[in-house]
Structure 1
Amino acid sequence: MTWTGPSDAPPSVRIATLAPSLQPSERRVADAIAADLSDAVESTAQQLADQVGVGRASVIRTAQTLGYDGYPQLRVALAREIAFAPGRPVEGDGTAVGMLRAAVETFAASLPRVTAALTESGVQDFVRTLDEADRVLIAANGLSAPLGLDAAMRLGAAGRPAEYVPDTLAQQIAARQLGPSAVCLALSGSGANQPTLTVASAARDSGARVLALTSFANAPLVGLADTALVIPPVTDSFRDELLHTSRATLTLVLEQLVELLLDRRGERARNAHTAVLAVLSQSLRE
């Protein structure tokens, strides 16, 4: 699979979202580039090939898989990314607060890349499909399960009722009964969670449209989706995503997608918010 996202997406985003689908030799090249962008800019294709122990053709092929005509064009893109990259976060000072602060700053530095793989048409279609569907079923399991509950509550508050049940079999049963006027919203960081893939597949078989929110452009979930929004992981690799999973960026984007939905729904959304505030006012006390 080659890069099909926005042409202005930086190399590090392309590497992060395509990494699991790269061939072993390409993966070694991509990992070396991601580990030291500056060194890759200063290296020729042959020098990088010698450094990672692959043939020069593998370096060129990696650049083309990432969406560039060749390695010289990739070097130019790397130089541009370095030039506009934010400053390095402050390192921890050894205290608990210092380590926490450093982690938060590292995360903050990665935020500009969160939307780098999104396209205007993809976001517009995602929001429009959510708005127009007669029924919305949310598929989210494993570490993405909290996203499912959060999405259901936010969509409901926006006047766009959505169903989410934690049980995976219940999700599959509901998915098989959706039909052409319904939507399955599948949420999975890895895009490879088997229960979620099964639910999405069942939804497609019913004739429903599948919307996906995931972190990897080549994930199996993307192949099942009619529209997929890819949010690059804050971690450096697919392995890190599995070991040090974070759904913070997916949560952030999901919240903003609901805001776009609110704007699209206009008066309907305002009426829903009025109802929500009425309920909240009755549940609060001094």
Structure 2
Amino acid sequence: MSWHGSSDAPPLVRIAAMAPSLQRGERRVAEAIVADRSGTVERTAQELADAVGVGRTTVIRAVQSLGYEGYPQLRVALAQEIAQETAHDPADADDADGTMVGAMRAGAARFAARISGAVAALAETDVQELVRLLDTSHRVLVIANGLSSALGLDLVLRLNSVGRSAELLMDALSQQISARQLGEGSLCLVISGSGASRATLAGMDAARTGGARIAAITSFARSPVAEAADVSLVVPPVNESFQDELIHTSRAGILLVIEQLVERFAVHRGERGREAQAASLSVLGGGLQE
């Protein structure tokens, strides 16, 4: 399986989404590219292969897995990515004053420079199909576990606010029971950053057995969750490396996509969406006290 997201996605976004599921040799190539993008631009495929300690064919396979026709196309894409970063460099975002606030500002600036990559891997057909399923399904069950649980709750609240009734159960066994009873014409919508949660995969299996369609929002293109879903929105990690993602496990990219997905869904519903939003605002207004 190779890259199937947007053709405009830059190399780092593709690597973030694909690297964890690449073959060992291909992953080493991807890691070498990330470690020295400028050097990769100057190297031939054979020179990169020699530097990594793999065969040239492994380099070519890795490049094609990332969605490029060949190594020259990757070099051009890397050069463009580096040039764009240089043009939009947030003044090195350096915490030169040595304060905690300075460090937070620096981190926020670095984060802001990468967050646009959250939507770079999305495919138009997948977004359209998920919006359609949200609109036409009899029931919508959201499954999210671990660090993704809060995102599942956020999605359910947002969907309900625009008139799309959705359910969320926090207990893994309850998720499986409810998923098994969804039936045809229903949707099981899964959120999983890692794409490998056993509890989440068990819920998906139950939904599949019951006849429901399955959609997923996840970080990695070839994760078990992505491969088990009928429709997948891949939101690559916003951290600089897979190791950073394991340590910091940011879900900000997925949160951004969820917000935008619900917005697109509300627009898709037209007058129904506007009426639901007006009703939600009325309830919120009534609950506020001066």
Distance in 2, matches of 1:200 and 1:75, equals: 39
Question: In the TM superposition, what are the counterparts of 1:155-170 in structure 2 within 5 Å?
Answer: 155-170=159-174
Is this contact kept in 2: 1:19–1:237, CA < 8 A?
no
Check 1:237–1:202 CA distance in 2 against 1; reply closer, same or farther (3 A cut).
farther
TM-score for both structures, normalised by structure 1:
0.95
Question: Residue in 2 aligned with 1:213?
Answer: 217
Residue 246 of structure 1 aligns to a residue in which SS? coil
Is this contact kept in 1: 2:4–2:123, CA < 8 A?
no
Structure 2 unmatched ranges of 5 or more:
none
Q: Residue 136 of structure 1: CA displacement?
A: 0.4
Structure 1 unmatched ranges of 5 or more:
none
User: Which amino acid is 1:285 matched to?
Assistant: Q
Question: Residue in 1 aligned with 2:153?
Answer: 149
User: Which amino acid is 2:41 matched to?
Assistant: V
Question: Residue in 1 aligned with 2:140?
Answer: 136
The yes-or-no answer on 1:57 pairing with 2:57 is: yes
Match of 1:255 among 249, 259, 269: 259
Is this contact kept in 1: 2:18–2:220, CA < 8 A?
yes
Question: In the TM superposition, what are the counterparts of 1:1-286 in structure 2 within 5 Å?
Answer: 1-85=1-85, 86-87=88-89, 89-93=92-96, 94-286=98-290
User: Which stretch shows the higher mean deviation, 43-52 or 91-100?
Assistant: 43-52
Distance in 1, matches of 2:289 and 2:7, equals: 52
Q: Residue 91 of structure 1: CA displacement?
A: 1.8
Q: Residue 172 of structure 1: CA displacement?
A: 0.8
Is this contact kept in 2: 1:10–1:78, CA < 8 A?
yes
Q: Residue 56 of structure 1: CA displacement?
A: 2.4
User: Which amino acid is 1:41 matched to?
Assistant: V
Q: Residue 76 of structure 1: CA displacement?
A: 1.5
Distance in 1, matches of 2:99 and 2:69, equals: 47
Matched positions, count: 286
Q: Residue 195 of structure 1: CA displacement?
A: 0.7
Residue 168 of structure 2 aligns to a residue in which SS? coil
User: Which amino acid is 2:139 matched to?
Assistant: R
Residue 187 of structure 1 aligns to a residue in which SS? strand
TM-score for both structures, normalised by structure 2:
0.94
Is this contact kept in 2: 1:134–1:181, CA < 8 A?
yes
Residue 78 of structure 1 aligns to a residue in which SS? helix
Residue 114 of structure 1 aligns to a residue in which SS? helix
Distance in 2, matches of 1:70 and 1:27, equals: 17
Q: Residue 189 of structure 1: CA displacement?
A: 0.7
Is this contact kept in 2: 1:158–1:269, CA < 8 A?
yes
Distance in 1, matches of 2:204 and 2:179, equals: 7
Distance in 2, matches of 1:218 and 1:194, equals: 16
Q: Residue 80 of structure 1: CA displacement?
A: 2.0
Is this contact kept in 2: 1:152–1:163, CA < 8 A?
yes
Q: Residue 159 of structure 1: CA displacement?
A: 0.4
Post-superposition Cα deviations, 1:194-221, rounded to whole Å, max 9, x if no partner, equal: 1111111211111111111011000111
Q: Residue 193 of structure 1: CA displacement?
A: 1.1
Distance in 1, matches of 2:67 and 2:282, equals: 51
Is this contact kept in 2: 1:190–1:241, CA < 8 A?
no
